Structure 1
Amino acid sequence: MMKIMKKHHILTPLIGLIYILLLQVGCSDPWDEHARDNEGLTNEPLLERLDEESEASEFMKLLRTSGVDKVLDGNNAYTVFVPDNNSVQTVASSLQNDAEALERFVKNHIAVSTHRLNASADTVRLTMLSGKTLDFVNSEIDGAAFSKSNQAGVDGMYHVITDALIPRQSLWEYMSDHGDELQNAFILGLNEYNLYDTAVVEDPADYYLNNEFLRNVGDMRDENQRFTYFVLKDADFTAEVAQFLPYVNYRNHADSSYAIGQYEIVKDMLFKQAYSKDNLPAMLLSASNVPFPVDKSAISQSVRLSNGWVHMLDRATLPVVNKLIDTYVQGEEPWRFSASVTASTFHRIRKDPYGEFFKDIMIQNHGVSSLQVAYQTARMYSTTYDVYWRALNDVQANVFQQQLGIFEFDTRPSEDDPDIEVRESIYVFPYTNVEQNDYNEVYLGEFNLADYNRIVPVLQGAATTTNGDNTLVLDYLRFVPKLKTN
């Protein structure tokens, strides 16, 4: 009886192992099997394999006419996405008299290296010999389905697809071809001039390096990025700029203010995701954090591009109030100090009563009277602002006071000493108590910013050298722009 039990224990794991192996074989991925079946199918060169493929005959005529066949010389591995004969015949006549377009068309079907069928939901971006980047996902490339896949040669492989991969314009190429539209013309014009004194060193290898839109909002030349771009009709664009002019008063200079107004409109019309009209969400967020409500009924035309989509609007859809977003200044990111207090400066991590962590700055026991900590902002609109701070006094047994002043960013010579540069005050709020263990925002008041420009907020401690009374602390400042009523 014991011998029988021993045999049973020996056979049980053996049977289990066989069962597991059979189960694994039964559950294997059919696409993997398909790939394995074709792997190393032939030792023929890729060009010979393509010549033997009946559905590639029309494409092969174009390949040789264009001269691109010389690229497939066996020195490198390539993947050719072959449009079937019907697809090629549909477009061949448009390519007959344009050698450049023909070469670009053929190269748009060839990628360096070997790429097997991608049946997963993961998007693989393939750079074609045309320079375009195509999305390879879910058994499709750029929307074209596969009718035959993973056909291998010694120097590459090919797939037969059901549509031709016609090279599309990039967003920058499209914009350049539609430079007669005011919105596009403004962006293209930034190649020649700068809105601000922010030009970088000119690089003859990149003519567009100083275009502030390409540099700061999105480089629409980049085939590896994806964009959605909305275009207003000329009349609507002009009306939107005029409506926004009161918020971009730049030193009372009409031409500069108008150019800045144009920039402030277009910078919130570009988004770094590609959405067709059908896939557009109800709300988009621009690079400058402006919420853009999407009204599909306002889209009169959509154009698919190699790196995104353009949607033409028959009316403006972005309210001015949406563009008036809050400006935050983080306390732990000071620009400069009025005195060296490094040993007394603490960058802290705190947790509020809701369990949220935040960083702040505390300058304590520094012995400096009226110590100042200066910050700087990005350019802010010319309007009135409500101002708040959050300042946590959680380690001292006493309440202390601090003060916020708003100063111009630009300096000017002092009237007393021309060699000394000063910043003019815009508004100084009164000293305010920093209560103990108060995690709430504190409203300081409002100030008016007459010019569209950067500002320098300055946090100032009490006018005393007594430690504990001249402490400074700040989580953040928040500037809330107000809508103009007239």
Structure 2
Amino acid sequence: MKKILNYIVPMLCICLASCNDKWEEHFGKDDANTQKNLFEVVSSTTEYSAFAELLEKSGYAESLKASKNYTVLIPTNEAINAAKNQYNFNDTSVVRSFVGYHLINSIYSVNDNTDTVKALNFRNKYVEFTRGTFDGIQPTAKNLTASNGLYHVIGQPLKPLSNIFTLVKTEFENTKQVEAISSFDTAYVENGETFYKSSPVWMSEVRRNMTTENRKYTYFVIDDANFEAELNKLTPFFKTNYVEGNTHRPDSTTTFFTKKFLLRDFIVEGDLLENQLNSELTSISGTKFTIPSGSLISRHKASNGVVYRVHSIDFQLQNQIKEKIVLGVNPIGYKQTDKRGNTYFRDKRDTLGNLYQDIQIHGHNVTAFYAKYRVTGMNVIRYKVYGRAIMGLPGDPQTATFTQYVHFLDPNLIAPNEVDLYKRPVVNHLGVNDTRFTFGVQPLNHGEVYLGEVSQNQYGNLPLLVMSNGTGPIILEYLRFVPIIQ
């Protein structure tokens, strides 16, 4: 037994020493500061006195005294002194922003071999820990321990970055493009108090992508003449009947829709490098475009991506005015509501093994039964319309050729019966003027069927019906609307 103990005890000591070495390698050496909280570390170290002063002024000092774990990136006195030329540390808001950028929730160590980790700081911005650096800044000391977290020492401070939205409005406020951005944020005074209001559609489709911090985007700002040329090119496709400047529906005017549409196409997902600008790019709305050679003027880093100032962007109209698709499985209503038992939403495979979804309505015994649909965001243009409906597969109750019809709402009509409102003039598949499309469905035809042309006279929704022939069935996978670009 004694021999065994003589063997085990030395080995245990070696293991404990080895573990301690690994801990020190990962989190810094054990010293007196491990017993201090992060505030005490900062305030008691002469080399950090300048940051300690700013910490007290920022209002964040109490947070670092708490038991919750944090990571602090501590600029040295020399780093703070050098930063005084860039920041007004007499302004409390500036101090709070500066200090908060160096305080991070939770514990983050650094490792030269670790890929990028995004750490959220007190200013709700992300600091990137990449292969031993913080936003590209090498620490002079790292992975040092305190009782409530870790701290790293840096020889230059992190630069608080603005998000894309703030950067663009600050750096390029006198451009036509930023004027258009600012026009979506309106202010009004009531009882001496100023209220700010933004359109929910503008916020969700455009601005949110410029302000979100948990994803990276690339934004482009172009010359005034080119911005206005693009705006003028698109305006005819977004015509509405709402008068410009009206206070009842300011978010429904031609100008509103045109600006919103164009501004969305300056945003690309991802933090693009300069050499990536030579490729075809795709905006968050799916518009493909290119940056002409020699167009780049400057690059500006933002907290959530990058902004490029360029002379122009090459947008092709056929990429901007896009096709629309209505899925059969997304009806918004029916002729009557008591035929749910005759309505089937199907997941099927065609003869090629491709999965698709459709709607089938049969056995309803209602003459001219119909399902209602709505195409959204239709531009002022003429569309070619195609449809796909597959039947005759194993298990289908319908195996014989049948006809169904597609009708479109005519807003100029007034009638007591709903169905009589859906008689918009169209050109059918034979090239003849009509008030409906005839949609013939053939067994096992997996190809699209050309139905005809329909015109949209103002930007917005296009309501339509898919109607049975007599008491016959309705089957629809989709209708596809392809704009005719002259």
TM range (shorter): 0.7 to 0.9
In the superposition, relative to structure 1, how do residues 430 and 161 fare at CA in structure 2: closer, same or farther (>3 Å)? Answer: same
| In structure 2, C-alpha distance between the alignment counterparts of 1:167 and 1:296, rounded to whole Å | 32
Contact persistence 1:302–1:312 (CA under 8 A): yes
Contact persistence 2:367–2:468 (CA under 8 A): yes
Tell me which residue corresponds to 2:353. Answer: 355
Q: Does 1:314 align with 2:311?
A: yes
Deviation at 1:171?
Answer: 2.0
Q: 1:398 aligns with which of 391, 400, 405?
A: 400
Q: 2:183 aligns with which of 156, 166, 189?
A: 189
Deviation at 1:413?
Answer: 7.7
- The amino acid of 1:243's aligned partner reads K
1:399-451 deviation per Cα after TM superposition (whole angstroms, max 9, x unaligned): 0111112225xx6783569x999456243444232000011111112222222
Q: SS of 2:186's equivalent? A: coil
Contact persistence 1:346–1:362 (CA under 8 A): yes
Contact persistence 1:80–1:159 (CA under 8 A): yes
Q: Does 1:102 align with 2:95?
A: yes
Structure 1 alignment gaps of length 5 or more: 1-17, 194-203
Q: Does 1:381 align with 2:390?
A: no
Tell me which residue corresponds to 2:482. Answer: 480
Contact persistence 2:28–2:143 (CA under 8 A): no
Deviation at 1:266?
Answer: 1.0
1:104-138 deviation per Cα after TM superposition (whole angstroms, max 9, x unaligned): 21221111332222556554332222343322333
> Normalized against structure 2, the TM-score is what?
0.80
Tell me which residue corresponds to 1:214. Answer: 203
Within-5 A mapping of 1:293-308: 293-295=290-292, 297-308=294-305
| In structure 2, C-alpha distance between the alignment counterparts of 1:303 and 1:313, rounded to whole Å | 11
Tell me which residue corresponds to 2:458. Answer: 451
| In structure 2, C-alpha distance between the alignment counterparts of 1:74 and 1:134, rounded to whole Å | 22
Contact persistence 1:282–1:295 (CA under 8 A): no
- The amino acid of 2:102's aligned partner reads H
Contact persistence 1:407–1:426 (CA under 8 A): no
> Normalized against structure 1, the TM-score is what?
0.80
- The amino acid of 1:366's aligned partner reads H
Deviation at 1:67?
Answer: 5.9
- The amino acid of 2:445's aligned partner reads D
In the superposition, relative to structure 1, how do residues 368 and 281 fare at CA in structure 2: closer, same or farther (>3 Å)? Answer: farther
Q: 1:262 aligns with which of 259, 264, 268?
A: 259
- The amino acid of 2:211's aligned partner reads R
- The amino acid of 1:289's aligned partner reads G
1:155-205 deviation per Cα after TM superposition (whole angstroms, max 9, x unaligned): 222112343211111222224334332222222221229xxxxxxxxxx99
Tell me which residue corresponds to 2:321. Answer: 324
Q: 1:34 aligns with which of 14, 25, 50?
A: 25
| In structure 2, C-alpha distance between the alignment counterparts of 1:64 and 1:208, rounded to whole Å | 36
Q: SS of 2:211's equivalent? A: coil
Q: Does 1:230 align with 2:228?
A: no
| In structure 2, C-alpha distance between the alignment counterparts of 1:121 and 1:33, rounded to whole Å | 18
| In structure 2, C-alpha distance between the alignment counterparts of 1:474 and 1:318, rounded to whole Å | 34
- The amino acid of 1:126's aligned partner reads A
Contact persistence 1:429–1:445 (CA under 8 A): no
Within-5 A mapping of 1:127-142: 127-142=120-135
In the superposition, relative to structure 1, how do residues 223 and 315 fare at CA in structure 2: closer, same or farther (>3 Å)? Answer: same
| In structure 2, C-alpha distance between the alignment counterparts of 1:213 and 1:31, rounded to whole Å | 52
| In structure 2, C-alpha distance between the alignment counterparts of 1:432 and 1:70, rounded to whole Å | 71
| In structure 1, C-alpha distance between the alignment counterparts of 2:420 and 2:196, rounded to whole Å | 36
| In structure 1, C-alpha distance between the alignment counterparts of 2:68 and 2:439, rounded to whole Å | 72
In the superposition, relative to structure 1, how do residues 180 and 364 fare at CA in structure 2: closer, same or farther (>3 Å)? Answer: same
Deviation at 1:295?
Answer: 4.4
Contact persistence 2:343–2:359 (CA under 8 A): yes
| In structure 2, C-alpha distance between the alignment counterparts of 1:444 and 1:39, rounded to whole Å | 78
Tell me which residue corresponds to 1:176. Answer: 169
Tell me which residue corresponds to 1:201. Answer: none
In the superposition, relative to structure 1, how do residues 458 and 420 fare at CA in structure 2: closer, same or farther (>3 Å)? Answer: closer
- The amino acid of 2:404's aligned partner reads Q
In the superposition, relative to structure 1, how do residues 388 and 208 fare at CA in structure 2: closer, same or farther (>3 Å)? Answer: same
Within-5 A mapping of 1:104-183: 104-117=97-110, 123-177=116-170, 178-183=172-177
| In structure 2, C-alpha distance between the alignment counterparts of 1:361 and 1:67, rounded to whole Å | 61
| In structure 1, C-alpha distance between the alignment counterparts of 2:27 and 2:242, rounded to whole Å | 71
Q: Does 1:431 align with 2:423?
A: no
Q: SS of 2:294's equivalent? A: helix
In the superposition, relative to structure 1, how do residues 265 and 31 fare at CA in structure 2: closer, same or farther (>3 Å)? Answer: farther
| In structure 2, C-alpha distance between the alignment counterparts of 1:253 and 1:207, rounded to whole Å | 22
Structure 2 alignment gaps of length 5 or more: 1-10, 188-192, 246-252, 427-434
Farther-moved stretch of structure 1 (165-174 vs 115-124): 115-124
Q: SS of 1:42's equivalent? A: helix
Identity of aligned residues (%): 23
In the superposition, relative to structure 1, how do residues 481 and 182 fare at CA in structure 2: closer, same or farther (>3 Å)? Answer: same
In the superposition, relative to structure 1, how do residues 247 and 235 fare at CA in structure 2: closer, same or farther (>3 Å)? Answer: same
Q: SS of 2:226's equivalent? A: helix
In the superposition, relative to structure 1, how do residues 118 and 455 fare at CA in structure 2: closer, same or farther (>3 Å)? Answer: farther
Contact persistence 1:392–1:439 (CA under 8 A): yes
- The amino acid of 2:167's aligned partner reads Y
Deviation at 1:344?
Answer: 1.0
Contact persistence 1:374–1:456 (CA under 8 A): yes
Contact persistence 1:332–1:359 (CA under 8 A): yes
In the superposition, relative to structure 1, how do residues 262 and 47 fare at CA in structure 2: closer, same or farther (>3 Å)? Answer: closer
In the superposition, relative to structure 1, how do residues 206 and 309 fare at CA in structure 2: closer, same or farther (>3 Å)? Answer: farther
Tell me which residue corresponds to 1:49. Answer: 41
Q: SS of 1:377's equivalent? A: strand
How many residues of Structure 1 are paired with residues of Structure 2 in the alignment?
443
Farther-moved stretch of structure 1 (53-62 vs 93-102): 53-62
1:56-92 deviation per Cα after TM superposition (whole angstroms, max 9, x unaligned): 4554454456565454334543211123455434312
| In structure 1, C-alpha distance between the alignment counterparts of 2:195 and 2:134, rounded to whole Å | 31
- The amino acid of 1:240's aligned partner reads E
